């Protein structure tokens, strides 16, 4: 019998698609992700099904759209009646382990894993958000607590920093170093009598943009791309884009960014901190692969790298991810390498995060649950002649997004406005043509496609 492959899924938190140097920002430092993409296949148009952590991750685990699984906010999780491909993998004979962030609720929900090392957000507040996680207990052994909840009180002129901070403790205590170190230890101590599926969930580069000094030092002389925006674009955009930033400005709190304090220099600093966290994680991607090699498992392991959603980082004069469906928010890195995965240039095919589950199951030789709404990417991973999806979808609250090869439309339910972009002519999504009568037929066609998808997937929820 052919030996079943180990599968290592590495998921970061809030990493936009273009922060891999080999196909994105040229000045970001990601040698290990570049190598992974060079040895395997990277997808340039992988779309998350939601713009917020919890709904997006529930979609990944269930392989269902948000309106189909019903988890529309954080601090919620799938009921037992919903499909979970990790459970399917475990029941087929895989050892399943999660080290790092999953965002389950309750905190220690098994979620199909035989073993969990639970690490929540950087700003997770035990007692208020739930019991202590394993990282809280680790810090307690050092007589420390998470610092992120108090940066706005402990760092002078905090709101000038736009969320950027230098990690205040020993570098080994940084959450992503803790996750990476424990993940490598797990691989090297595992006996591999059964094939391993391991989900490594890094906490970064999610805000606050705190990072150890050694990682930040790599970016001292590096200029990163300026935010994408135009002076008049706000006039054609949905009014809540500007409104949410206005409401956050002047509000005290660990997650508040006052965009009125933004300057080109401060935006560059914010972006450097964000990218430095990605580079730190990139180092751990390399270490994970070294651990697989030391365990003599490199040849029998498929590595998958992705994230749950992105971050505007000032694009369109927005921060974070809640407010819109721009590509900087809803498009994520997606890389496969190892096993039968072909080595080729990055591909432009449209794919979705709900496709991960069916793909992993097929790579493992396991039959998928018929309720999964994603599609296996194995044909694309193994055959250059295969093609991706005609449409991909994402949603958040009253917003529904459809993306085709040429067009993106965001439908605001019950509102007289929306967004329509020609993604070939306007990939930065600056020129909103939703209200332009020239494109009324195109808008109507995309609306029909969107509502057909919504109705079809909603009435096939189980």
The whole-number average pLDDT for the span 283-288 is: 98
Q: Tens digit of pLDDT for each residue in 377-419? A: 999 999 999 999 999 999 999 999 999 999 999 999 999 999 9
| Close Cβ partners of 88 (under 8 Å, ≥ 6 residues apart) | 112, 361, 366, 368, 369
pLDDT at 1: 46
As a whole-number percent, the residues of the chain with pLDDT over 90 amount to 92
Residue pair 74/66 in contact (Cβ under 8 Å)? The answer is no
pLDDT at 322: 83
In 295-411, alpha helices (H): 327-330, 356-363, 378-382
pLDDT at 75: 85
The residues spanned by each domain of the chain are 6-390
Residue pair 95/196 in contact (Cβ under 8 Å)? The answer is yes
Q: Is the pLDDT of residue 461 over 60?
A: no
pLDDT at 460: 59
Give 6-390's CATH code, choosing from 3.40.720.10, 3.10.20.30, 3.40.50.2020, 2.60.40.10.
Answer: 3.40.720.10
Confidence of residue 128 (pLDDT cuts 50, 70, 90): confident
Q: Is the pLDDT of residue 127 over 80?
A: no
Q: Is the pLDDT of residue 232 over 90?
A: no
The whole-number average pLDDT for the span 235-255 is: 91
Tell me which residue of 46, 69, 40 sits closest to 57, measured CA to CA.
69
Q: Is the pLDDT of residue 32 over 90?
A: yes
Q: Which of 59-73, 78-92, 230-244 has the lowest mean pLDDT?
A: 230-244
Q: Tens digit of pLDDT for each residue in 56-77? A: 999 999 999 999 999 998 888 9
Tell me which residue of 220, 186, 34 sits closest to 95, measured CA to CA.
186
Q: What is the mean pLDDT of the chain?
A: 96
Q: How many of the other CB atoms lie within 10 Å of CB of 436? A: 13
CA trace torsion 185, 186, 189, 191 (10° rounding): -160
**First-to-last C-alpha distance (Å) of the chain:** 34
């Amino acid at each position: 019998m052919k030996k079943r492959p180990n599968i290592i899924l590495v998921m970061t938190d809030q990493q936009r698609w273009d922060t891999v140097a080999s196909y994105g920002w040229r000045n970001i430092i990601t040698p290990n992700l570049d190598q992974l993409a060079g040895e395997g296949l990277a997808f340039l148009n992988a779309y998350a099904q939601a713009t917020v952590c919890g709904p997006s991750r529930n979609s990944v685990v269930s392989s269902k759209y948000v309106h189909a699984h019903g988890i529309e906010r954080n601090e919620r999780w799938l009921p037992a009646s919903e499909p979970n491909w990790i459970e399917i993998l475990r029941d087929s004979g895989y050892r399943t382990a999660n080290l790092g962030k999953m965002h389950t609720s309750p905190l220690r929900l098994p979620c199909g894993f035989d073993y969990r090392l639970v690490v929540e957000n950087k700003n997770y507040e035990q007692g208020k958000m739930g019991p202590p996680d394993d990282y809280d207990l680790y810090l307690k052994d050092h007589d420390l607590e998470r610092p992120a909840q108090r940066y706005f009180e402990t760092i002078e002129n905090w709101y000038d920093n736009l969320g950027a901070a230098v990690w205040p403790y020993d570098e080994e205590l940084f959450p992503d170093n803790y996750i990476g170190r424990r993940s490598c230890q797990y691989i090297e101590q595992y006996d591999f009598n059964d094939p391993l599926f391991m989900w490594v969930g890094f906490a970064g580069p999610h805000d606050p943009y705190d990072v150890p000094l050694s990682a930040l030092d790599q970016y001292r002389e590096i200029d990163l791309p300026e935010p994408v925006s135009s002076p008049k674009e706000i006039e054609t955009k949905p009014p809540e884009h500007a409104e949410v930033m206005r409401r956050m400005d002047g509000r005290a709190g660990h997650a508040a960014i006052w965009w009125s304090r933004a300057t080109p220099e401060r935006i560059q600093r914010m972006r450097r901190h964000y990218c430095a966290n990605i580079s730190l994680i990139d180092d751990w991607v390399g270490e994970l692969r070294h651990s697989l090699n030391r365990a003599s498992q490199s040849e029998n392991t498929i590595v998958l790298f992705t994230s749950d959603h992105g971050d505007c980082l000032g694009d369109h004069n927005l921060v974070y991810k809640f407010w819109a469906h721009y590509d900087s928010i809803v498009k994520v890195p997606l890389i496969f390498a190892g096993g039968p995965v072909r080595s080729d240039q990055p591909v432009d095919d449209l794919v979705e995060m709900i496709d991960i589950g069916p793909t992993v199951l097929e790579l493992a030789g396991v039959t998928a649950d018929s309720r999964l709404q994603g599609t296996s990417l194995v044909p694309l991973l193994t055959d250059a002649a295969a093609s991706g999806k005609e449409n991909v979808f994402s949603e958040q609250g009253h917003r529904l997004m459809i993306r085709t090869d040429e067009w993106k439309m965001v439908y605001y339910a019950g509102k007289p406005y929306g967004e329509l972009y020609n993604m070939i002519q306007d990939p930065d999504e600056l020129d909103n043509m939703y209200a332009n009568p020239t494109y009324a037929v195109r808008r109507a066609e995309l609306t029909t496609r969107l509502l057909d998808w919504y109705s079809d997937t909603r009435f096939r929820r189980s």
